[in-house]
Amino acid sequence: MNSAAESRDYVLPADEYYGDQFVTDQVRKYKERGQNHWNERMGKVLGMVHESTKGPSDVLDLACGIGAFTIAAAKKGHRVIGLDYSETALKAAEKLAREEGADCKFIHGDATKLPFDDGSFDVVIASDIIEHLFDPPLLRMFQECFRVLRKGGAFVFHTTPTRYLYLMSPLRALPLVPFAWLSQPKLDRIVELYERYPFTAIYKAVYGDTWVNITAKRGHCNCPEADHLHDMLESAGFTVDRYEPADAPADLAGSRSYKILAKIFKNSQHLRGHIWGLARKPA
């Protein structure tokens, strides 16, 4: 296969991403969610689901992995289906659901070719999948989510902007410090230009390839800049109600340097650890 960036329909195979050890680690993190960032992340997503519904609803948890959001939404009384392309992850999800007495269903499938009729769901959750898809399959996924939602339905998403988090170390971020006082649009434009040209060139010289290609082979390949993500969702038919950049949660931002850089670049949307959002299918 050519480099990941050249093959824009490339998706990391399930058995390469969801190895046994990865799934074991995910289950451990879920069970220890009181001591890590999982409760915060799950609470934020489920809060957006709650505000988007008027009681028990039909919910699709897209790229559900080990079923954390599926199980949590089912416990809130929703009728939930979790879909993932990894059979290994789905087996772990089914086991967790049985252990926790959660009434939900899991299906093996492709997020870009959903096996559901038009208008099947009130809510679609897409947490931690956007960063795993290049634009062509990502747009197809958005279009499929739009198709399976009922009119007025909600698309709740969460992602990590991997591209710019690579800059959040003292050495890499140093050239950007003189621009930190700029307003958000101007600062983020500087961040884009810095990452696109000098940073990428240096990274390729040191590591033999661009960060995009290297991280894509590990599963993270996309960069959800606010305007571009907004445009993609609108092109799929959605209206975007909310877009909320936020710093990485406490257990991921434990280093003193990250906390200092987060304060310095507080005007930036790009240099955030997480992005939350809610879009709707027009009624």
DSSP class of 247:
P
pLDDT tens digits for 79-128? 999 999 999 999 999 999 999 999 999 999 999 999 999 999 999 999 98
If pLDDT is split at 50, 70 and 90, which confidence band does 18 have? confident
Quote the CA–CA distance of 90 and 69 in Å, as a whole number: 13
Both tokens assigned to 19: 């190895």
What's the N-to-C CA distance of the chain in angstroms?
A: 43
Q: What is the pTM of this model?
A: 0.88
Task: Please give the pLDDT value at position 223.
Answer: 72
Backbone angles phi, psi at 69, to 5 degrees: -70, -35
Distances 192 to 21, 94, 271 between C-alpha atoms, Å: 35, 41, 10
pLDDT, average across residues 48-55: 92
Q: What is the pLDDT of residue 5?
A: 44
Q: Which of 78-82, 162-166, 241-245, 278-282 has the lowest mean pLDDT?
A: 162-166
Cross-strand partners of 124: 60, 155
Q: Residue 93: what pLDDT?
A: 98
214-224 pLDDT, tens per residue?
777 777 778 76
Question: What's the pLDDT at 4?
Answer: 44
Phi first, then psi: what are they for 44, rounded to 5°?
Answer: -65, -45
Name the region of 202 (left: φ>0; alpha: ψ -120 to 50; beta: rest).
alpha
- Dihedral sign, CA of 25, 100, 158, 124? positive
What are the structural domains of the chain? 14-280 (3.40.50.150)
Question: Residues 172, 178, 182, CA angle at the centre, nearest 5°?
Answer: 110
